[in-house]
Amino acid sequence: MSFAAEATTTAAAVRAGSLTARAAVQASLDTIAATDGRINAFTAVLAERALKRADLVDQSPRRARMRLAGVPFAVKNLFDIAGIATLAGSKIEATAAPARRDAVLLRRLEAEGAVLVGALNMDEYAYGFTTENSHAGACHNPHDLARISGGSSGGSAAAVAAGQVPLTLGSDTNGSIRVPSSLCGTYGLKPTYGRLPRTGSYPFVASLDHLGPFARSVADLALCYDLMQGPDDDDPACAQRSIEPTTDGLDGGTGGLRVAVLGGWFREMAAAEALAAVDRVAEALGTSRLVELPEVQRARAAAFLITCAEGGALHLPDLRRRAQDFDIHTRDRFLANALVPAAWVVQAQRVRHWFARRVAKALQTVDVLIAPATPCTAPAIGTEWLDLAGQRLPARASMGLLTQPISCIGLPVVTVPLWGCNPAAPHLPIGVQLIAAPWREDLCLRVAAALEAQGVCSAPVANLQN
Amino acid sequence: MEHAMDHTAYIDAAAATLGLKITAEQRPGVTRFFTLAADMAALLDGLPLTPADESGQVFRPVSPDLGEGAP
């Protein structure tokens, strides 16, 4: 049982009057009720609000023009939802005042007829890549319940993969959209830094925080993204750019695009299944070109330290007063981070800029870069160590090894899911990053659509019958 | 790293300065994660930069027509 319809299909049916928004939303709520005991994607299900909202869509004179009419969706629980506390995966925020209004992106989607059905599990304060949340419990991977969903937007990916909703929103600071997309087999978009306003979301690292959508088709992903575009003065990092729609260009194909595989760090830190996925995408796109970026490991270190400093400083008051209330997976890291000297952070910001300039030069000769989204397929819940590149590395931090250098410089990325790349676990997906120059989300989405059309990537609903 | 740092002494001093109490239970984790951050900092120190290499954090002035830039 699942809400398997794509957002565009549901919206078309509601617009045409062959399906009511109430029926679409009820189907989603029923699926959540039937499956979430095993997945644990949701931390709040807002049935009353959702059904009221669905009725408003059904009665709206604008219904026939709403691009997401009756489409159920859910958001990572760091998005403000009017009337409930914004948890950001924590116990601490449970006693905060309820949000006074919905986050900007949520309002933009509902203005087009989408209907919010709930809030989703995540790593505490978005600091993690696994969603093994000690307060809410671990979020389980719908394709293999013993494995992690990835994080920090684990609930966002899992809800889509489980067929609970066709669309979700998450955040990505160091890989938190791309890692769970990869491990749960969904499409995910991390737009350019500054593209989508973060107003009404709980921050983690303001210098690196991005918001973006998850979906089971490229058309849904692009539509959701298009409807969320546009500046907002209350997010100081949000660029004053007009809306640049991508949906109409999705079938533009890849002809004329210069595509290359990222080498060096992006191949060295990848297991066989990640390399197989990238090679399959490269072959489908007809490229054997390899591009190597300079100092990728240092770019990752820069993102790491900026994260330390801003995350540690943000939570300093609570670390002083109630450190014991933090998740065991984040507490000691936040405490250590609060102590990071300023000189390290300033150097990290300078390296970030240095790296951004070098990558910009590389992007003068290539339109789309390909790299794995995660070093491997989803590990079992509780995994402590990964063997990668001949090293024994901490599993939780290492899931972001290949995403962190890219978000460090704010490039747009679509993650596309591939299957059967790990012969030992063919049922598990793994994602490939399609990376473009700043503000060229359209290219990432165009290539993703071409790969989807060729059958190279897909995002099926998990089989939860057993 | 040329200027090898005594992390224990630094952690104690910085925590005291910031008003943070590091308990015995927290200390091993805090030391491990701070050491990891120090390793990252050492890696960054190895990249030769010039004074002209500006920060990636750029301040954007707030226009008067936004009032205080916030609602």
Instruction: Provide mean pLDDT across the span A41-60.
Output: 98
State yes or no: is A152 an active-site residue. Answer: yes
- Average pLDDT of every residue of chain A: 97
Band of pLDDT at residue A1, cut at 50, 70 and 90: very low
Per annotation, catalytic residue among A90, A149, A153, A176: A176
Instruction: Provide mean pLDDT across the span A54-71.
Output: 98
Tokens of A205: 């690292």
CB A156 within 8 A of CB A74: yes
pLDDT in tens, A394-452: 999 999 999 999 999 999 999 999 999 999 999 999 999 999 999 999 999 999 999 99
CB A150 within 8 A of CB A130: yes
Instruction: Provide mean pLDDT across the span A265-276.
Output: 98
Instruction: Find the helix or strand (DSSP H, E) in which A134 lies.
Output: none
pLDDT in tens, A111-154: 999 999 999 999 999 999 999 999 999 999 999 999 999 999 99
State the complex-level ipTM. 0.94
Instruction: Provide mean pLDDT across the span A456-465.
Output: 95
pLDDT in tens, A374-387: 999 999 999 999 99
Give the 3-state DSSP-derived string for A137-148, with helices as H, strands as E and coil as C: EECEECCEEEEE
Cα B69 from Cα B67, distance rounded (Å): 5
Cα A226 from Cα A235, distance rounded (Å): 18
Instruction: Provide mean pLDDT across the span A29-48.
Output: 98
Per annotation, catalytic residue among A90, A152, A207, A407: A152
pLDDT over 90 percentage in chain A: 98
Decide if B32 and A332 are in contact by the 8 Å CB cutoff.
Answer: yes
User: Degrees (nearest 5) of the Cα angle A90, A94, A95?
Assistant: 135
Per annotation, catalytic residue among A28, A76, A171, A398: A76
Cα A72 from Cα A199, distance rounded (Å): 22
CA torsion sign for A69, A70, A75, A77 is positive
Cα B16 from Cα A431, distance rounded (Å): 44
Predicted TM-score (pTM) of this structure: 0.97
Cα A245 from Cα A348, distance rounded (Å): 34
B24 CB-near residues (< 8 Å, 6+ apart): none
Q: Which residues of B touch A207 (CB under 8 A)?
A: 56-57
B66 interfaces chain A, CB cutoff of 8 Å:
yes
Stretch 39-58 of chain B: residues touching chain A, C-beta under 8 Å:
40-41, 43-47, 49, 53-57
Determine what percent of chain A falls in helix, strand and coil, rounding each to the nearest 5: 40, 20, 40
Residue A292 exposed, middle or buried by CB count within 10 Å (0-12, 13-18, 19+): middle
